[in-house]
Every structure is written in C-alpha cells, then in structure tokens.
Amino acid sequence: MKFQSQKIAYWFFASAMLLLVLQIVYGFIMGFARIGMDGLHDFIPFNTARAVHTNLLVVWLLLGFMGSAYFIIPEEADRELKWPKLAWVQLISFLVVGVVAVIGYHINWWEGRKFLEIPRSLDYLVVVNVLAFIANIGVTIWQGKRHTTTSIVLFFGLFTAALLYLPGMIDFDNQTLDSFYRWWVVHLWVEGVWELIMGSLLCYLLIKLTGVDREIVEKWLYVIVGFTFLSGILGTGHHYYYIGAPKYWLMIGGIFSALEPLAFLGMAIYALAMAKKGGRRHPNKAALNWTLGSAIMSFVGAGFLGFAHTLPQVNMYTHGTLVTAMHGHMAFWGAYAMINLAMIAYVLPVLTGRKLWDNAASAYAFWLSNIGMTAMTGALAVAGITQVNLERRMGMDFLAVQKEIEIHFVGMILAACLFFLGICFYLYNFWRFGLPTNEAAHSDVRREEELPASAESAA
Amino acid sequence: MANTELWFCISNLNSFAAVLTKLQAKVFFLGGTAVFFGIFLVLSFDTHLKVPDQTREKDITPAVSAGKRIWEQNNCMGCHTLFGEGAYYAPELTKVVERRGKDWIRVFIKDPQAMFPGQRKMVKYNFSEQDIENVIAFLDWCGKVDLNGFPADPPLRQALQTIGTPVAASSGPAPLKKPVPAVFTTASCIGCHQIQGQGGAAGALIGAPPLDDVFRRYDREKLITWVKDPQKIKPGTKMPSLYGVAVNDAQLNEIADYLMSLNPAVAAPTVPAPVSTPAPAPATQPK
C-alpha cells in the first residue's frame, strides 16, 4: 500500500464478501425449493429468492469493482484519492440502497424486470451513488501524476457501465421494447463494458504478479478488449431472436455471438502467455491462481458454454430453459466473481502487511470452490438438456418434466455445498488477514513488491 | 478524457516501435468499438421502427398496459418465463391463453394450489376481477406477437404419438369418438384429463385418468357425486374441488351427459342397455 486512501478498498471487499454469503444462502433456498422442500414459500417465495440471488450478485460484484478501482486508481495515478470521505459515504449509501431493495423484495416491492428488479425510486439513488464514484476516481485520474492505459480502460469501463444503466430506466407499454432496452443494460454490461473492467483488473494483476513489461501487457489489453467489443456489441442480437424483434437479429446475433468465445479465448491465452513469459515469481500464489483461473474459467463458462446455446437453431429450444442457468452460473463465476476474488487475494496482503498467500486455506478455497462450481454447472447442464428434450422437443408438460429432473437438483445442492465450503476457506483467510494498517506501507510485502520490479528493469 | 488519452500517447514516444504497435492496438480498439456501436445503433433504430408492426402495438389497450404493470409489480418473471425470458421455475406463459383458455386462467389464478394440489407452489395473489382480466389481456396480447417462430412446436411429438397412444387401463367396450363440448374447457377438466386425445398435459404427472371410458367405472349419479366432493369419496386424491368454483350444476349435468354418451351400449339401442354398470370401488380406479 502506497497511499492511505487505498485502505477504503478493504471495506468494499468486506461488504462484498458478506453479500456473497447471503447470495449463496438464497441460492440454497432456491435449490431446496426445486426438490420440493419449499417450507419457506410463504415468507420467501421463489421469485423473491431469485431476485435476491441475482441482485446480490450484481451488487457484490460492483462493490468488488469499486473497491478494486479505489485501490488501483491511486496507485496508477500516483496520488491519494481525491475525496476519501466521499468514498465512505458512497459505500455506506450503496449498502443502504442494497439492503432496502432486498427487504423490498420480501414485501413484494420491485420493478419485476429480470435482473433489474430494483424499484424505480431506488434506481435514482443508484445513479447518484455511481455518479459520486465516477467523479471520485475520474478526478483522481485527471489530477494524477501518471496516466496509464490500465487506469484509463478501467475508468472507461466503469463510466460506460454507469451510462448504460440509463436505457433500463425507460418505460414502455410494449413488452418487446421493454425487453429490447433491458438487454442494453444487462448484455452490454456483462458481455461488454464489464469485460473492460475485468480486462483492466486482469492487466493490473498480470503486471504486478508476472513482472512482464507494462507496455506489452497493456498493448494486448487493447487487442483483447477490442475483440470483446467487436463481437459483444452486435452479439446483443442473441437476446433479440425470439422477443418480437425483426428477423435479421437471428443472423447478426448468431454470427457475432459465435465470435464472442474468441475474445474470451484470447483473454485466457493472453493471461497464460504473460504468466509464462514473466520471469518474476511473485510469492502471492493465491492471487496468481485466481487470476489465471479467472481467465480460464471465463473462457469455459462465458465463451464455450455460451456458444453452446447461442446459435438461433439451438436457442429456439434452449431459450428460457435451465440451459441458460447452466451457462450463467459458470460465466459469472469465471469472469467476474473470480477476478474479484483475485483482486482481493492480491490486495489484502498489501493492505495488511500479512503474507497469508501460500497456505492450505487459500489452496482449498481455490480448488473446492472451482470444483464445486464445475459440478453445479454439470448438474444444471444435465437438468437443462433433459428439460429441452422432454419439454421442448417431445412436448411433455412443464411440471411433469420438472419432476423428472428434480434429482439433478439434489446433485446441484451437494455440489453447492462443496462450493460453499471453498468460499468458507476463502473467508477464513480473509478474516485472518485482519484490518488494513498504516504500517503495511513499510512491511515486507511492500518490499517484496518493489524488489523484483527494480531487478527486472535492470535486466 | 480525450485530453488525457492524447497526453498519454505523446508521453510514451520514448520507444517508437513499441508505441506504434500499441497505438495500432489502441486504434483497433477505439475504431472497432466506434464502428460496431454505430452499426448497433442503426439496427436498433430500425428495430424500433419495425417493432410496432411485428408486435401489433395497436392492440395494446389500456387493459394490456395495466396487465403489464401487474406482471411487473409482482415480479412474475421471477418464476415464469415470457418470450422465453425470466426464471425457469414455472411454465412459459407466452401462449398460455391459447393453451389453457381464459376461463381456466380465471379459475387457476384465484387459488393456484387448489388446481395443482401438493405440487410446486405459486403465490396466491389477491387480485381483483379487474386485475385478473388485465393480466389475461396482457398475456393474450403477448401470445399474438410475432416471435419469429418461438415457441416452436415440439418436433418429436408427432413421432412419439405414432409409437403408441396410451391405452385405457381397464377393458370393456371402446368409447365412442365424439367432438368434445366447450364445457370441458370452461370447467377446466381438460387441463388435467385427456378427452378424445385432447388435453391432459397437467394431469399426466398426478395420474389424472383419461375420461373417455369413465362410463365403465361410474354411473351418472356417482360421477356427479365424485365431482362435487372428490375428497369425500377418495380422501387424499389430487382431484381439486372445482364444484362451485369452475363448475355449476348445469355444466356438471352437461359433462355427465357427454361422458355417459360415450358408452357404445347406450348409444346403440340394438343392444339392451345395462341397468346399472357395475362400478368398481373408487380405490381401484387408476391412480
């Protein structure tokens, strides 16, 4: 840690971890409801659990991104954060809005649009909050001593993410247009500008962990995010096949979303190549694991599994089935959850000056959660494919099919237990790091950070 | 932002070759993004112009709009899918009006668990009659939007039907073929029971038997008693008590008349009609 104001990142990460646990709890509620154990139905019906599960995911990922930005931007701009107190206000108000929304979902107060369930009046608060965040990091970059590609791509990603929230707030009487603009938010976030954020976080971590020259890492960052937008923007069309939009989206969406895996493949190859190229052996094994893991799992989950049902001929039968849930779980885990966990694993030693980066708990956390998530995705895949065949291709009734695939949710719950165990190990390590300290700036961690970098420039 | 970007480019001129390639990479990113976002905007504009026709926007009455608000305010998408979008916990509702009929939905929505006892639960909303009509109007409009062929007819259904249609469990005279009167839809029987090869989708799971050969098991009177209070005759049965909810006396008589008329012995007077068909005890009927 170089600057005092970077410490705020810790509190963003801690809040994110809390919400992650809550997200998993609501996931379990849904899993049990699916095997008929729906005793909570009167208090937490499925639509409540589902809205809480997906919204908490978005909120904790955003908290992670914001925390990462508050850590990275001062370092990259080489100055203190412009308004550290505003960051605190922003964190607390963001959490309050989140908590109010979650409570609202339990008393049937929401907007009821997939992924954007948060009630309209709270939408405005989110906008104000995010504006404060953008202003804070924007001015810090502007007045910084250094302007790096990493910080600019990160800022550009966060800024456009904020901008793209707005189309989701337009009101339509026509369900088709409603859906059309809802995807401007949801798709262009997760398959567009969030990938800029992910790319820049990946880039920052690779620079720090592998010691490869910044110029090279950043050059390839441009190429990767270039491919992301090249495929991802028109790839939005894969949401427009069957919602009442013109037929040309079948071709445009089909072609461009088929290219989307290439961007993810590029990202995975890029991360692995940089790690191999880098001469530096950074002692933070956990952070390197999560970083490379994120690049690989995002290719598998978002790229490969997304491609599995993105062609219009296939999507005709998989659209609106559990196949989507299968892809969604691993995509979000690989691309966004893991990059956040990588950032946290990298940042905590720097903030606290403690070196819990190569212990048993961090290894268990990585492997158990990844194996658990892979198994969950497998269970959802079997359930989804069975549903597609029985319901969509043979014409069996929905509920009869659900009964047939119930057993796969037992498997899913078991896999989720393994996953949760991994997360518990991660949280245990998080807890052991303790709070950020001012002395961390002069600790071993800091020195180990700096030494190889100077050795590299000498070489 | 443009300023800082420019500053950044100039500040890195220390290594000409490296900057050139990094610049190229940057131009690729910015240029590619601009071009493809431009195409996306043009297509979106065109879509915006075409959607009103494709979705029959002129049919969006105040009732349809009001129904959409109810749909959103209760987060129906948190369980169901519409246009294939939503959660995957409850059925796709795009064509539900065509599939179930308005009457069925009217009865179902008032008490979902009564219609599917012991199965996956839906929240019991206290909708007013007007709310229910609005929701139905909204779903009816949704069902008529041109979705480029979605949802597709199950391609294997035809093939499976030729493999073998379900054979009635008990033996006896084959029931007659007769058109099914509308009352079976309005009274929602056809949602669970198969009649003349139609309907029966929801009942396949809970063992609701086809009704064509019901004359073998029940006489007219017994059938009416059964519909009036299924739990009394067979405690624990999945058959909902729809008498007074979806079925009134006149409808019940019509149902009984039709089902009894499927008995070839009654229809063909050359054979003396049996005085009373031996009705097996309810417990032995197919479950």
Q: Which of A47, A222, A250 sits opposite B26 (nearest CB)?
A: A222
Interface test with B, best of A180, A185, A397 (most B CBs within 10 A): A397
Q: Tokens for A290?
A: 């999560």
Mean of the pLDDT values across residues A178-188?
94
Mean of the pLDDT values across residues A160-178?
91
- If one looks up domain B57-142 in CATH, what number appears? 1.10.760.10
Answer yes or no: is pLDDT of B11 > 50: no
The confidence score (pLDDT) of residue B284 equals 42
Whether B176 contacts chain A with CB within 8 A: no
Answer yes or no: is pLDDT of A204 > 50: yes
pTM for the predicted model, two decimal places: 0.83
Q: Which of A331-335, A445-449, B34-38 has the lowest mean pLDDT?
A: A445-449
Answer yes or no: is pLDDT of A459 > 90: no
The confidence score (pLDDT) of residue B189 equals 84
- Alpha carbon of B97: minimum distance to chain A alpha carbons (Å): 16
* Inter-chain CB proximity B205 and A399 less than 8 Å: yes
Portions of chain B given CATH number 1.10.760.10:
57-142
Average pLDDT of chain B, as a whole number = 81
Contacts of A219 in chain B (CB under 8 A): 18, 21-22, 25
Structure confidence at residue A278 as a pLDDT band (50, 70, 90): confident
B166 vs A36 pLDDT, higher one:
A36
* Distance of alpha carbon A438 from alpha carbon A285, whole angstroms: 24
The confidence score (pLDDT) of residue B181 equals 86
Q: Which of B1, B142, B149 sits opposite A175 (nearest CB)?
A: B142
The confidence score (pLDDT) of residue A80 equals 94
Interface test with A, best of B28, B71, B75, B153 (most A CBs within 10 A): B75
* Distance of alpha carbon A245 from alpha carbon B48, whole angstroms: 9
Q: Per-residue pLDDT tens for A330-384?
A: 999 999 999 999 999 999 999 998 988 889 999 999 999 999 999 999 999 999 9
Answer yes or no: is pLDDT of A226 > 80: yes
- Alpha carbon of A267: minimum distance to chain B alpha carbons (Å): 15
Q: Tokens for A226?
A: 């270039």
Q: Per-residue pLDDT tens for A257-274?
A: 999 999 999 999 999 999
* Inter-chain CB proximity B91 and A396 less than 8 Å: no
Q: Which of A36, A47, A142 sits opposite B79 (nearest CB)?
A: A47
Q: Which of B4, B48, B87 sits opposite A50 (nearest CB)?
A: B87
**What chain B residue is nearest to A188 in terms of C-alpha separation?**
B37
- Alpha carbon of B78: minimum distance to chain A alpha carbons (Å): 4
Amino acid at position B102, single letter: K
Q: Tokens for A4?
A: 């005092």
- Alpha carbon of A430: minimum distance to chain B alpha carbons (Å): 33
Q: Which of A111-125, A136-150, B190-204 has the lowest mean pLDDT?
A: B190-204
The confidence score (pLDDT) of residue B169 equals 47
Q: Which of A366-370, A372-376, A425-429, B153-157 has the lowest mean pLDDT?
A: B153-157
Answer yes or no: is pLDDT of B106 > 80: yes
**What chain A residue is nearest to B57 in terms of C-alpha separation?**
A174
Instruction: Pick one of 1.10.10, 1.10.287, 1.10.760, 3.30.160 as the CATH number of B179-268.
Output: 1.10.760
Q: What single string gives the DSSP state of each residue in A66-125? A: HHHHHHHHHHHHTS--S-HHHHHHHHHHHHHHHHHHHHHHHTT-S--STT--S-HHHHHH
Q: Which of B12, B44, B83 sits opposite A242 (nearest CB)?
A: B83
Average pLDDT of chain A, as a whole number = 92
* Distance of alpha carbon B217 from alpha carbon A164, whole angstroms: 64
* Distance of alpha carbon A29 from alpha carbon A25, whole angstroms: 6
Percent of chain A exceeding pLDDT 90 equals 81
The confidence score (pLDDT) of residue B204 equals 63
State the DSSP code for B198: B
Structure confidence at residue A450 as a pLDDT band (50, 70, 90): low
The confidence score (pLDDT) of residue B1 equals 41
Structure confidence at residue B160 as a pLDDT band (50, 70, 90): confident
3-class state of residue B270 by DSSP: coil
